[in-house]
Every structure is written in C-alpha cells, then in structure tokens.
C-alpha cells in the first residue's frame, strides 16, 4: 500500500515550530521552554521505526543528528545531549535532540513526563530559531 | 590527554550481562526483566556524546543499531522499539535499544524511573542471550 506523500503528524505540528528542512529531515523546535529541544522528522511517509528507513537514509539521518547535535551544543553550551527515537505516543518516526543542563527541571532524569511544558517567550524563541537556522545553514520554511 | 584503553563503565558492568562484541560496540543485556533491553557501548575510550565519535564510527554505530534493533524486533515481536542515547547518569556513551509492548510496565511512557527493576530468571535469560547471539552472529565473549 502506498502511504502517500509525507505529512507531519498533527501532534508534532501542534507542539512545535518548523526551523527548516535538511536533505532528509524536517527540523522542529519543540515549544517547551523547559529545555532547548529539537525534533528531527525524516520526510518519508509511513515510517515508525529507525529500521523502517532504508540504509542510505539511515546514514543520512545519523549525519543530520550529528549536525543538529553539534549546533545545539555550541549554541546552548549544554552539559549533555539526549538523543532518542521513542514513538510510543506519536507513531511517526521522529528523533528528539535535547540540550540538558544539570540545573534543568528534570535533571538527571529523562525529560518526558516530568516538568509541565510551557511555551517559549516569543523574542527568545525567535532568537533561538534564527541562531539555529544560521548554524544549520537552512532557510526559513515556505508556509 | 590519552584516555587509555576502553573499559566498560562499572555501573553498566554491574547492571548487565555481555552478549558479545560487534565490530564497534559491545552488546549488553540489561538485567531488568521488565523489558527486553539491550545496550550498545562503542568500544572507544573517553566518549560521552554521539558526536564524540568520528564520522566513520557514527556510521558503523547506526548500522549496528539497525542490526540489533532488527534482531530484537524479530525475536520479541515487540510493538515498538525505543532507541536512546541519554547518559545523564552514566557518562560513558551508550545506546539503549528496548523492545516495548503495549502491555509492559511503563507503556506508553519511557522506561527510565518507572517500574522497579528485577533480574531475569536464569533460564529465560540464557535462552534470550543465546537467541540474540545467534541472530547477531556473535560468539560469546571471552571472560
């Protein structure tokens, strides 16, 4: 069965702001001001697991994870990166890349289900997005 | 500073049983019978982040993640795989690959900090380890 064109999962769409597209992945900012938290979504339809991606796409995904991780680490000066593909709630394949600090709301626990989410203040959010677009060399999405 | 030869973190060593070595990673069974839960540790000294690995090693890591994920999914028939590099508590770079079921003790939440861990029953553990060694075509470690 042809899964049709790629469309972003509605829950991911509701929770995030699009930073832009790398060759494989859409890069999203999770609008939770507790943490600098990015999400990569491979723009391929019908995927739920990493192993649903073909081998070449998996290699590209690893390169994009590394590129986004490095940009996030440089920009935030975080103590640790957390990288995870879970997908128990939102089935569409997506990879979390989260900048963690020893002082953050969940440390040293994982972020899911701990601190109540709250949105970024608009100016701070725009500054973060602009900095990441610059670091990743991706233009703003057409929308 | 030369970090010296690879040695497994003592906490990882205490919590797991070695399944064997792939070209890059040591494959460990986390001895928590709540979930079929494997851990990959790249056998390189002094790493804490995915981006501490060189590009070629990152590509190998992705191949080994895919290989182990596929074996775990086939063997367990799980509903979902969770793949994560967190490292907030144990600093040594390690990647969790966990077989999740809609009926398991933490579903749909992540596994960390939820159900109290308890060890595998010995016979079931040996069966699981033997099956995974077969699927991954890796011999038992010399110890």
Residue A113 has a pLDDT of 87
Per-residue pLDDT tens over the stretch B38-80:
999 999 999 999 999 999 999 999 999 999 999 999 999 999 9
Per-residue pLDDT tens over the stretch A30-50:
999 999 999 999 999 999 999
Per-residue pLDDT tens over the stretch A62-118:
999 999 999 999 999 999 999 999 999 999 999 999 999 999 999 999 999 899 999
Mean pLDDT value across residues B91-99 = 98
B84–A80: do the CB atoms touch at under 8 Å?
A: no
Instruction: Say yes or no: A66 contacts chain B, CB-CB below 8 A.
Output: yes
Residue length, chain A?
Answer: 143
Residue B1 has a pLDDT of 59
Residue A143 has a pLDDT of 59
Å between B143 CA and nearest CA of chain A: 32
Å between B18 CA and nearest CA of chain A: 23
Out of A66, A69, A88, closest to residue B108 by CB: A88
Nearest partner of B85 among B37, B50, B46, B112, judged by Cα? B50
Q: How far is CA B49 from CA A57, B28, B53, B123, in A?
A: 22, 19, 7, 35
Residue A51 has a pLDDT of 98
């Amino acid at each position: 069965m042809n899964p049709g064109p790629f469309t972003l999962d509605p829950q991911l769409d509701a929770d995030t702001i699009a930073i832009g597209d790398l060759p494989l992945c859409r890069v999203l900012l999770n609008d939770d001001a507790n943490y600098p938290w990015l999400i990569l979504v491979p723009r391929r339809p019908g995927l739920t697991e990493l192993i649903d991606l073909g081998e070449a796409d998996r290699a590209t995904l690893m390169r994009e994870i590394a590129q986004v991780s490095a940009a996030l680490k440089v920009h935030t000066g975080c103590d640790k990166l957390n990288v995870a593909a879970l997908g128990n709630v939102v089935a569409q394949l997506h990879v979390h890349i989260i900048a963690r600090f020893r002082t953050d709301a969940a440390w040293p626990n994982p972020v899911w289900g701990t601190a109540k989410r709250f949105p970024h203040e608009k100016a701070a959010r725009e500054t973060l997005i602009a900095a990441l677009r610059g670091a990743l060399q991706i233009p703003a999405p057409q929308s």
